[in-house]
């Protein structure tokens, strides 16, 4: 190695680093296109997940929809007919590592590859303070769904990204990864999302030679995950939200598309917040 070569301390396997980077060429808006790419989105039978899946289809990507409790074949058919892309629904249990690997293999077989993977599946904590909760299986359910499933997805897709030499992993974290929500008590959810945030940043370093890894951090969004809250609780949330309202899932989509696109070629380890999230 000559004296003027630079080696990445974080990822020495990258070898000598180029002194100059040639940015993607063309119109900046063209860089946001996802044509020719395949996106796989967990928890996408509704809510944020389906909004993202539809946004990907609008941007030209073929889409694999993952669902658990709610069948989504009609959603896949809708995407195909409306946007002229390939779409297919897969039933999965993302809290089961083996099942995640099974579905990843099926998606790759059906679509030929996976360019973008969104680990989005999640459930809320609705049982109050942990100190008063005798049933520890509820803690385990939230941790398995909101944290372990993200790791299982990363563990399953990472080797394929490495073999391909490219890939994008996006996790859906939460503002609860950085703040403690009030007035409701939800320590299990907060802990899981904080871990997702740091897992994402850690993988961004580990996977730098072959993939970008980022997270999206929604604030209070009007989906089935917030339906447990009564009007009084929602009113308190709104008082603590800078824009004074709940967000709509579609307001998050542009962020996912950006992080998935060539426009984000130098964006990794990012924690993209919405609704006053920090």
Task: Give the active site residue among 45, 95, 174, 260.
Answer: 174
Residues 118, 207: Cα–Cα separation, whole Å: 16
3-class secondary structure per residue, 179-214: CCCCCCCCHHHHHHHHHHHHHHHHHHHHCCCCCEEE
C-alpha neighbours within 13 Å on the C-beta side of residue 163: 8
Tell me the Ramachandran region of residue 98: left when phi exceeds 0, alpha when psi lies from -120 to 50, beta otherwise.
alpha
Task: Give the active site residue among 152, 193, 215, 220.
Answer: 193
**Is 202 annotated in the active site?**
no
Two tokens, residue 168: 């994008």
- The CA–CA distances, whole Å, from 202 to 92, 134, 136, 175, 215 equal 26, 33, 28, 18, 11
**Is 258 annotated in the active site?**
no
Task: Give the active site residue among 83, 189, 256, 271.
Answer: 189
Two tokens, residue 265: 């070629």
Question: Distance of alpha carbon 64 from its chain centroid, rounded?
Answer: 14
**Is 83 annotated in the active site?**
no
Residues 117, 10: Cα–Cα separation, whole Å: 24
60 Cβ contact partners less than 8 Å away, ≥ 6 residues apart: 33, 34, 35, 36, 37, 85
Two tokens, residue 49: 């997940």
Two tokens, residue 110: 């059906």
Indicate which residues carry an active-site annotation: 174, 189, 193
């Amino acid at each position: 190695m000559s004296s003027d070569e630079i080696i990445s301390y974080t990822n020495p396997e990258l070898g000598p680093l180029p002194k100059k980077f040639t940015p993607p060429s063309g119109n900046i808006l063209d860089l946001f296109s996802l044509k020719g790419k395949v996106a796989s989105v967990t928890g996408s039978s509704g809510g944020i997940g389906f909004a993202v899946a539809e946004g990907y289809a609008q941007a030209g990507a073929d889409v694999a929809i993952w669902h658990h409790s709610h069948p989504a074949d009609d959603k896949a058919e809708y995407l195909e007919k409306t946007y002229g892309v390939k779409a297919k629904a897969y039933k999965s249990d993302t809290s089961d590592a083996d099942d995640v690997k099974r579905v990843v293999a099926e998606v790759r077989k059906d679509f030929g590859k996976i360019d973008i993977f969104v680990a989005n599946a999640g459930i809320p904590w609705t049982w109050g303070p942990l100190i008063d909760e005798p049933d520890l299986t509820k803690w385990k359910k939230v941790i398995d769904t909101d944290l372990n499933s993200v790791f299982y997805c990363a563990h399953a897709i990472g080797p394929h990204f490495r073999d391909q030499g490219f890939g994008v992993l996006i996790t859906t974290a939460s503002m609860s990864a950085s703040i403690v929500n009030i007035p409701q008590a939800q320590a299990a959810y907060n802990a899981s999302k904080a871990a997702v945030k740091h897992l994402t940043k850690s993988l961004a370093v580990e996977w730098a030679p072959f993939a970008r890894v980022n997270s999206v951090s929604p604030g209070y969004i009007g989906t089935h995950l917030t339906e447990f809250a009564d009007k009084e609780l929602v009113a308190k949330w709104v008082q603590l939200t800078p824009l004074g309202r709940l967000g709509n899932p579609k307001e998050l989509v542009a962020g996912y598309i950006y992080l998935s696109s060539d426009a984000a070629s130098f964006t990794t380890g990012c924690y993209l917040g919405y609704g006053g999230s920090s």
